[in-house]
Amino acid sequence: MTTRLTVAQAIILFLKNQYSERDGKQHRLIEGCLGIFGHGNVAGIGQALEQDPGLPYYLFRNEQAMVHTAAGFAKASNRLRTLACTTSIGPGATNMVTGAAVATVNRLPVLLLPGDIFARRNVAPVLQQLESSTSQDISVNDCFKPVSRYWDRIERPDQILTSLPAAMRVLTSPAETGTVVLSLPQDVQAEAFDYPSELFEKRIWTIARPRCDSHLLARAAEWIRSARQPLIVAGGGVLYSEASEALAEFASRTGIPVAETQAGKGSLPYDHPQALGAMGVTGTPGANVLGREADLIIGIGTRYSDFTTASQTAFQNPAVRFINVNIGEFDAGKQAALPLVGDAQVTLRELASALGDLHVNTSYSVRIKLLREAWETEVDRIYNLNWGPPISQGAVIGVVNEVSGARDVVVCAAGSLPGDLHKLWRTRDPKGYHVEYGYSCMGYEIAGGLGVKMAAPDREVYVMVGDGSYLMLAQEIVTSLQEGCKINIVVLDNHGFSSIGGLARACGNRGMGTEYRYRKDGRLEGAPIPVDFVANAKSLGADACRAHTREDLRKALLEAKKNLKTSVVVIDTDYAQRVPGYESWWDVPIAEVSEVESVQAARVKYVEAKKKERVF
């Protein structure tokens, strides 16, 4: 049997019947379609969504933001569910490119359905078409190719018979997932075809838990037995595999300490006896000291970004070896490691069985305990720092952490906040920490927080965002109100880009272009520009207020918790008061020649520090 449908109608009908399954639990794979309509999709995908409301449609305000929302939704769902995004051709499509990069870099499944130029070409150039004198087989949608894991342009109605299943395979692949783009020429969207009815039957995509090679597992067990100071580096793969419980049992049983990447934070609760906290550039003293001395690093679900490896200076033991547990062969092979290509949860349990009653020596256990205690004392000091007003950023983090519940979620992405949160946030639940740091995209915070709330409506979501990121992309406050998805937004107003300002000064510069100031005598060195974030948030429909002190902030957040709609709390924070760095370094190249003495001095330090970089 066949069903005659337009291409757009067939895509929507197909998508609403796709499911993922892991450990016997099924999830609807595509939970809805986010979109902004224009001439390139309103008569195709738009018509199909209106005709068939079985796939919910959500109106958004910014195309980049809706991809961030889809990525946030997918991350909060452990990549078992996601959302589709549809736009018109031209600027609507290219506005999604940044969001596509965010999802692919972070290994998060999102499905993009941008409109495209006419396939039949006879009316070209159409509105918003990019012309080429050397080819007619190009459009602005080709920009998606380097930031997608799967890309296709549908130029005939029958092509979706093979393209749609291929797209679903990538979306549900733990090793290959990322952004999937199906470019849809506006004429093709409206063309009809007799599709086989089997295309629209319910299909379950099983997400397996593959086991690693048994011989490599046995060798890994030998390496662990012979190690005197092993350290686990837990990445996002621990969370996506839902392996937190397995990791907690493994760490308790062996006594091996655990440090966490940004994506892996929450792999262990902060008070677990083996939890050393953050690893790398934004790491804790305990994690970085033990990382420097470790003779064995067991990476679990990490891609070893430069923030994790401290630009390859973190692991200094001349005899250090690496074991990598990863679902992706590409990441498993990094650091010249012994690669255990397999599911994190299954591999951890099999490793624990192979190790038997192995436990690290007593002196190492005592050292782990002392490092943990010292760090908790330092966190208490920063949380309760008597500074200001304006108060310190660390104190703001402390108040939000205190007010939030164990299952609540903090969301962030860019600026100095992610580094401070990585160090300071006391995570109590595997999904309680949601920081996009693979791309560190300014503007992700509010849209991503909305995606988290859509995925987990029973959790309170606290979006922490700097004034710079807020000014880039705050419009989805309106969407949160439209959908009744209440989020709590804390805007830290330090009148500029504090993170880059601090980095500029560390590089010997003065911080030009990192403070919000009027132009004076040809330079941006006049008085601070006053921005009324409270008035802005209220104009978008949110409840909003300004806090001045720690107690003001606490009261405002407690009120926001009771509120049924999105609330915004704005608080001034000190631009210069910073959480220290601990036992780590990041490679930011300094000008090799300069007339400025402070730059020259910074260059000398840089050249010396760079000598510690290693090649594995």
User: What's the per-residue H, E or C state across 176-198?
Assistant: CCCEEEEEEEHHHHCCEEEEEHH
Helix (H) or strand (E) holding 232: strand 230-234
Residues 332/341, Cβ–Cβ less than 8 Å: yes
pLDDT-above-70 percentage for the chain: 100
- pLDDT on residue 119: 96
What is this structure's pTM? 0.97
- pLDDT on residue 512: 87
Residue listed under structure tokens 């797209």: 167
What mean pLDDT, rounded, does the chain reach? 97
pLDDT average, residue stretch 437-449:
97
Q: Which one, of 351, 318, 317, lies nearest residue 225 by Cα?
A: 351
pLDDT average, residue stretch 27-47:
97
How deeply is 328 buried, as exposed, middle or buried, from its count of CB atoms within 10 A (0-12, 13-18, 19+)?
buried
Residues 358/225, Cβ–Cβ less than 8 Å: yes
For residue range 364-379, list pLDDT tens digits in order.
999 999 999 999 999 9
CA distance 29 to 295: 42
pLDDT average, residue stretch 123-152:
95
CA distance 102 to 98: 6
DSSP-derived secondary structure for 29-94? SEEEEEE---TTTTTTHHHHHHH-TTS-EEE-S-HHHHHHHHHHHHHHTTTS-EEEEEE-STHHHH
- pLDDT on residue 513: 87
How deeply is 600 buried, as exposed, middle or buried, from its count of CB atoms within 10 A (0-12, 13-18, 19+)?
middle
Q: Could you tell me the pLDDT band of residue 463, with boundaries at 50, 70 and 90?
A: very high
pLDDT higher than 90, residue 290: yes
Q: Could you tell me the pLDDT band of residue 387, with boundaries at 50, 70 and 90?
A: confident
* One fold for 214-374 and 384-572: yes
CA distance 390 to 571: 8
- Cβ-based neighbour number of residue 430 at 10 Å: 22
pLDDT average, residue stretch 566-589:
94
> Two tokens at 484?
């009744």
Radius of gyration of the chain (CA): 25
Residue 98 region by backbone torsions, left for phi larger than 0, else alpha for psi between -120 and 50, else beta:
alpha
Q: Which one, of 311, 401, 397, 265, lies nearest residue 589 by Cα?
A: 311
CA distance 479 to 485: 8
pLDDT higher than 90, residue 279: yes
For residue range 145-167, list pLDDT tens digits in order.
999 999 999 999 999 999 999 99
CA distance 309 to 269: 22
Residue listed under structure tokens 């690093």: 297
How deeply is 134 buried, as exposed, middle or buried, from its count of CB atoms within 10 A (0-12, 13-18, 19+)?
exposed
Sign of CA dihedral 331, 333, 337, 341: positive
CATH architecture designation of domain 214-374:
3-Layer(aba) Sandwich (3.40)
Residue 38, Cα to own-chain centre: how many angstroms? 29
Q: Write down the domain spans for the chain.
A: 2-206, 214-374, 384-572
CA distance 29 to 108: 13
pLDDT higher than 90, residue 501: no
- Entry field: residues in the chain: 616
CATH code assigned to 384-572: 3.40.50.970
| Distance (Å) of CA 102 to CA 110, 147, 343, 435, 477 | 10, 8, 23, 12, 20
CATH architecture designation of domain 2-206:
3-Layer(aba) Sandwich (3.40)
> Two tokens at 488?
């709590």
- Cβ-based neighbour number of residue 510 at 10 Å: 12
CA distance 556 to 562: 10
3-class SS shares of the chain: helix, strand, coil, % to 5: 40, 20, 40
CA distance 493 to 575: 9
> Two tokens at 92?
């609507």
pLDDT higher than 90, residue 330: yes
- pLDDT on residue 576: 82
Residue 117, Cα to own-chain centre: how many angstroms? 32
**Residues 6 or more apart whose Cβ sits within 8 Å of residue 492:** 393, 396, 417, 464, 465, 466, 467, 571, 573
**Residues 6 or more apart whose Cβ sits within 8 Å of residue 568:** 477, 489, 490, 491, 533, 534, 537, 542, 543, 544, 545
CA distance 44 to 30: 19
CA distance 77 to 71: 10
- pLDDT on residue 388: 79
- pLDDT on residue 590: 95
> Two tokens at 174?
């733990």
CA distance 384 to 374: 16
pLDDT average, residue stretch 526-532:
93
- pLDDT on residue 369: 98
| Distance (Å) of CA 480 to CA 66, 410, 488 | 12, 16, 11
CA distance 362 to 350: 25
pLDDT average, residue stretch 17-41:
97
pLDDT higher than 90, residue 503: no
Helix (H) or strand (E) holding 509: none
